[in-house]
């Protein structure tokens, strides 16, 4: 395999984490439509069941694993179960993620640990657990964020986790090239998912700050998960190094490249301007 040879979902086995809703749900459904068997992971049992039922309509085999990937032993247990059930894995989509609202001084280290365990450590742990089972032609797709390209005020911990996914993916792509395994990093912008509403509120965040942040994100999150999923699946098939989703992501990427020292302030002003429109 070279990087120009496409990934082929048909006949493969795709693991998708965070599959109960949002982008994970839509990625799973779209991969099923392309002929991929699925191993779906989430803590939300009801949502996971609904995704599995929808995906199974495509005539593929779908298994589900209700677990919390923040638990240290979860990734190894997941790998063992998936390989026992499917015999192999050809695609890993590390999509599971959570949010934490508040400036760094407003969040506790317990909250930061919780965030990093899910957003960064779980991505690395799942990848580590499945690496021995990935043969030539396999692929890994890691979901970072717009905030893995640029770090707005109030998102220090979240940005740290997503910058971590970005760096991990970049190095992993180079390391796995000799093994003929591809790696894609995804940077979604304003996707209409429940991540903002379901974010954990930092212990020092006031009611007014919380309400303002929720209102900002309500205006910001406008892209449908199905649209984002199409971009993710297409980028995976093409084995792209990076997939940027949403105009604000292209703007953030450009600002971070052209004015890195002032990028946080500039981007924050642009987003405030967009919220007022």
Catalytic sites, residue numbers: 158
**How many whole angstroms separate alpha carbon 217 and alpha carbon 118?**
21
**How many whole angstroms separate alpha carbon 71 and alpha carbon 259?**
39
Angle, vertex CA 146, rays to CA 144 and CA 147, nearest 5: 85
> Residue 159's closest CA among 2, 238, 267?
267
> Residue 158's closest CA among 196, 214, 186?
196
CB of 245 closer than 8 Å to CB of 224: no
For tokens 């993710």, name the residue: 232
**How many whole angstroms separate alpha carbon 252 and alpha carbon 262?**
12
| Residue 154: φ, ψ to 5° | 90, 5
CB of 115 closer than 8 Å to CB of 199: no
> Residue 172's closest CA among 142, 146, 195?
142
The SS3 of residue 197 is coil
**How many whole angstroms separate alpha carbon 249 and alpha carbon 145?**
9
| H or E segment to which residue 242 belongs | strand 242-245
């Amino acid at each position: 395999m070279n990087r120009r040879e496409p990934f082929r979902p048909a006949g493969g086995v795709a693991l998708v984490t965070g599959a109960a809703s949002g982008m994970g749900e839509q990625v799973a459904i779209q991969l099923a439509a392309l002929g991929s068997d699925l191993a779906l992971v989430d803590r939300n049992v009801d949502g996971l069941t609904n995704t599995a039922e929808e995906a199974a309509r495509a005539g593929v085999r779908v298994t589900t694993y209700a677990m919390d990937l923040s638990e240290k032993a979860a990734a190894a247990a997941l790998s063992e179960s998936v390989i026992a059930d499917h015999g192999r894995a050809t695609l890993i989509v590390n999509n599971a993620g959570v949010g934490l609202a508040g400036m760094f001084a407003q969040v506790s280290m317990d909250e930061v640990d919780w965030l990093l365990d899910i957003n960064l450590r779980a991505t690395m742990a799942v990848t580590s657990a499945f690496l021995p089972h990935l043969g030539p032609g396999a692929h890994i797709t890691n979901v970072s964020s717009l905030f893995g390209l640029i770090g707005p005020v109030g998102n220090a911990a979240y940005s740290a986790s997503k910058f971590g996914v970005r760096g991990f993916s970049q190095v992993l792509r180079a390391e796995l090239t000799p093994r003929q395994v591809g790696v894609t990093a995804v940077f979604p912008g304003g996707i209409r998912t429940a991540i903002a509403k379901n974010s954990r509120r930092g212990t020092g965040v006031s009611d007014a700050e919380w309400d303002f942040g929720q209102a900002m994100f309500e205006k910001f999150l406008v892209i449908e998960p199905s649209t984002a999923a199409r971009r993710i699946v297409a980028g995976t098939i093409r084995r792209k190094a990076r997939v940027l989703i949403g105009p604000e992501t292209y703007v953030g990427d450009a600002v971070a490249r052209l004015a890195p020292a002032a990028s946080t302030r500039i981007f924050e002003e642009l987003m405030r301007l967009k919220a007022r429109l």
